[in-house]
Amino acid sequence: MGGGSEPLDTKHGKYLGGWGNLGSQTQKGIITYALSANRQRPLAGAAHAAIFNTYRRCKAQFLYVVPPIAFAYLILNWATEKNEFYNSKKGRTIAPEASDEATQGGSVRG
């Protein structure tokens, strides 16, 4: 049973063949169809799928993104309006301590 590169069936001592052809009979009645790579449409429906997939993903993340951003915007808007009021003439007359803190940049008192 020599030391060649041929795979042998150790039980029967005959050549089994390469991978995919292990010595069995050829099959009949199996039809295989193939299409050349340059005839396929690899991006068929990609734009349509991208639009609807993007919409689906954005809709799923909406409640995780929009409320924190809206809350941060409201806080920033409130702080800006309060700062502008404290630095106005009317704000300085109503709350002189707050306007001093607004112009000093903090509430550190000595």
Alpha carbons within 13 A on the beta-carbon side of 46:
4
**pLDDT score at 110:** 44
**pLDDT score at 96:** 67
The tens-digit pLDDT sequence of the chain (110 residues) is 455 555 566 666 666 556 656 656 666 777 888 888 778 888 888 999 999 999 999 999 999 999 999 999 999 999 999 999 988 888 888 876 765 666 666 555 54
CA distance 110 to 91: 23
CB atoms within 10 A of CB 99: 19
